[in-house]
Structure 1
């Protein structure tokens, strides 16, 4: 399990509107593509440098594909990263102000302290 890789995925996808749309519309293809092309790139590097060992576990991959922010939190993804990305993907589907954010919080309500470790 790599909390770093989960958070890197959420961070990089959230910063590119094209990737946000791909992740919303074709999550399985997007996660597979991202893992094979960007997972091992060095974050915020100008290219040419990469690692070779980073990969999602099956559990992480399925949580990303399923847009399951609760499972991602259990696995160590930072809730701020999931919230900002998922707002970009799903807020438009709601009609009331903060409707998506309230639903997100309600789905996370079953967590009690101590919360899962989100340190990377």
Structure 2
């Protein structure tokens, strides 16, 4: 499992409106596409300076494909990254602050110490 790659997914998808929409409507295809096209691209580097070994674990793929932010948090995904991406995807379907409150309620059972979210 790679917290780096998990957080990189959340970070890069959140910054691309096309990927946000694909992740909202077809998360499985988005996760597969992202891993194929983006996972091994180094952030802020010159083209061609790519990695070749980064891959999501089966558990990470499943949690991402099912939008399971509670499991993602338990895996070490940064809560601000999941929250901002999930707001972009789902807030439009809810009233003011309704989605954010549901997000928080879903994490209600998480007790300290929280998973390590340091980067």
**Mapped pair 1:42 → 2:42:** yes
CA RMSD of aligned residues (A): 0.8
Runs of 4 or more, structure 1, over 3 Å off, are none
Match of 2:77 in 1: 77
Separation (CA, whole Å) in 1 of partners of 2:48 and 2:85: 27
Instruction: Compute the TM-score of the two structures, normalised by the length of structure 2.
Output: 0.97
For structure 2, the 5+ residue unaligned runs are: none
Aligned residues: 119
For residue 75 of structure 1, report the CA deviation from its aligned partner.
0.5
Match of 2:117 in 1: 118
For residue 48 of structure 1, report the CA deviation from its aligned partner.
1.3
For residue 119 of structure 1, report the CA deviation from its aligned partner.
1.9
Separation (CA, whole Å) in 2 of partners of 1:48 and 1:14: 23
Instruction: Compute the TM-score of the two structures, normalised by the length of structure 1.
Output: 0.96
> Could you give the per-residue CA deviations for residues 38-97 of structure 1, whole angstroms, max 9, x where no partner exists?
100001223111011110000000000000000000001000000000000000010x21
